[in-house]
């Protein structure tokens, strides 16, 4: 799966949790652009994990601030 496909999956899962989401600035912190409480954020990461079968250890959560960071992180692990 390439980065573009991963981006689609990430946005799709994000919209399942926050359907009100319109456009996302990929380099800006996600949580400044969309209201995600701690539970939404965990549900989002768990959904990505299930959908892509990629482990996301809790220690890595802080590396996942922006859409670009999430996509890059997952793409690197998907290889």
By the criterion CB under 8 A, which residues form the site for other proteins? 15-16, 18-21, 29, 31-32, 35-43, 58-59, 61-62
Q: How far is the CB of 6 from other proteins (least distance, A)?
A: 21
CB closer to other proteins, 15 vs 51: 15
Q: How far is the CB of 40 from other proteins (least distance, A)?
A: 6
Contact 71, 63 (CB under 8 A): no
Alpha carbon distance 45, 50 (integer Å): 9
């Amino acid at each position: 799966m390439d980065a573009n496909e991963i981006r689609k999956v990430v946005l799709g899962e994000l919209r399942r949790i926050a359907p009100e989401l319109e456009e996302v600035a990929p380099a800006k912190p996600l949580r400044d652009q969309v209201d995600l409480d701690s539970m939404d954020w965990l549900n989002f990461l768990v959904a990505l994990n299930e959908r892509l079968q990629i482990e996301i250890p809790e220690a890595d959560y802080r590396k996942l601030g922006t859409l670009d960071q999430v996509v890059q992180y997952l793409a690197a692990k998907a290889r």
